[in-house]
Amino acid sequence: MDQLRETLKVHHLRTTTCREDVLSTFINRKNALSHGDLEGELGENYDRVTIYRTLKTFLEKGIIHKVLDDEGLRYALCSHSCSEEKHQHDHIHFKCSACGETNCLENLHIPAVQLPEGYHPEHFNLLIQGVCPKCN
């Protein structure tokens, strides 16, 4: 519980039970989660709008980042180097075709891509699909 409150404090957020519960879910699950995943786990206590607003706030503050996979938008915890001013999440995401989990592979960075003249990248998203070690 102290880690949750400290994370919120570092990101200049007031502690609420919803914020603690959403953050705790990300920490405990360790994989990327969709709004629907969170709603399934926390929906008895919070409505979908409250969960959405919490995700939006966490995105803005650098606590989580967006992960696009073949099922749509998911969210994952940011590394400790993310902040409100700058997200550092140019890493690979892996989606397991057996269990369906999407995970950040923090130690694998997206290879440099030479774009044609005039193109200026703002965000990178690389998704690899296959079988994870748990399912292998």
Q: What is the pLDDT of residues 60-109, one digit of tens each?
A: 999 999 998 888 999 999 876 666 666 666 788 999 999 999 998 988 87
Q: Is 96 annotated as a binding residue?
A: yes
Q: List the CATH code of the domain at 2-135.
A: 1.10.10.10
Q: How far apart are CA 118 and CA 95, in angstroms?
A: 32
Beta pairing class for 91-96 and 126-130: parallel
To the question of whether residue 99 is assigned a binding role by annotation, the answer is: yes
Could you tell me which residues come within 8 angstroms of residue 55 by beta carbon, excluding any fewer than 6 positions away? 22, 35, 38, 64, 75
Is 18 known as a binding-site position?
no
Tokens found for residue 78: 């940011």
pTM of the model: 0.84
**For the chain, domain boundaries:** 2-135
φ/ψ bin of 115: left (φ > 0), alpha (ψ from -120 to 50), beta (otherwise): beta
Q: 104: annotated binding-site residue?
A: no
